[in-house]
Amino acid sequence: MTASEAPHPFRLAYVPGVMPGKWVRIWGERRPEVPLSLSQVTAAEAPGALRGGDADAGLVRLPVDRDVLSAIPLYTETTVVVVPRDHLVTAADEVTAADLADEVVFHPLDDVLDWERPPGRPAVERPATTADAVELVAAGVGVLVVPLSLARLHHRKDLTHRPVTDAPQSSVALSWPQDAHTDLVEDFIGIVRGRTVNSTRGRRPATPEPGKDEARRKPGTGKQTGTGKQAGAGKQAGAPARRGAARSGARRGRPRRRS
């Protein structure tokens, strides 16, 4: 196969914290002839990558512009506060935003939580990224509130986390351009939704080959021919005659009564 004949890959973008490995593995099992290429983008960049045609689909964080992008919500994450292991917060199994009122709470520029007003006291300067904020938490400067997947992504042995019960949550969705809902996109939708390999839901029906439908609709030759009907009729007509002959013969052979 030449380079020009190689199949176009299915391009999947995903945001930090999302783990697409399981779905990528299933794709390889079901569509081995179509390579899947992964690209990680920031949560802010993901919608633009889809609109600009840089990816066929993406595992993104909601919300997205539903006027141009379709989206299937997949799950909503627990929100946690990341703190040093010896922090007072660790004495509780979970906390509220009010429990963080006296803390310096970092609000990085790539924050994915839709805060009306972040809890706690603001830092002098907003960290550029979540990774930078985690480093500051490790230094004991403040705490950080993020989705659980990001806390796990930036895990450190000297840090831990606790759920924040009343904080905003982040939802992850599979998204794609509305005007580019291809069969490959539909195949990936089926994978993330757990459809079986034989499911055809959402796929466009295959176009039948010319002449095949006509051939299937034609009756088979040799069925119910005139000869067959006549033969059947002959058998049915002959049967009563034989039964009548048998009864007549039985009467002629019966002995007479003695007088």
Taking only the tens place, the pLDDT of each residue in 138-168 is 999 999 999 999 999 999 999 999 999 999 9
Taking only the tens place, the pLDDT of each residue in 212-232 is 555 555 555 544 544 444 444
User: CATH class for domain 79-163?
Assistant: alpha beta
Task: Kindly report the average pLDDT of the chain as a whole number.
Answer: 85
Please state the separation of Cα 32 from the chain's center in Å: 18
Say which residue, 30 or 204, is predicted with more confidence.
Answer: 30
Which residue ranges make up each domain of the chain? Answer: 8-76+171-192, 79-163
Say which residue, 238 or 41, is predicted with more confidence.
Answer: 41
Among candidate residues 155, 158, 144, 69, the one with its CA nearest the CA of residue 113: 144
Q: If you search the block for the tokens 């993020």, which residue do you land on?
A: 146
User: CATH class for domain 8-76+171-192?
Assistant: alpha beta
Among candidate residues 61, 88, 93, the one with its CA nearest the CA of residue 75: 61
If you count them, how many residues does the chain have?
A: 259
Collapse the DSSP code of 75 into the 3-class scheme (helix H, G, I; strand E, B; otherwise coil) and give the result.
Answer: strand
Confidence of residue 201 (pLDDT cuts 50, 70, 90): low
Confidence of residue 245 (pLDDT cuts 50, 70, 90): very low
- Give the whole-angstrom CA distance, residue 103 versus residue 101: 6
pTM of the model: 0.75
Structure tokens at 104: 């310096």
Structure tokens at 4: 């020009």
Rounded to 5 degrees, φ, ψ at 191 are -65, -50
Can you give the pLDDT at residue 196?
Answer: 83
Instruction: With a cut of 90, say whether residue 170 has pLDDT above it.
Output: yes
Taking only the tens place, the pLDDT of each residue in 96-118 is 999 999 999 999 999 999 999 99
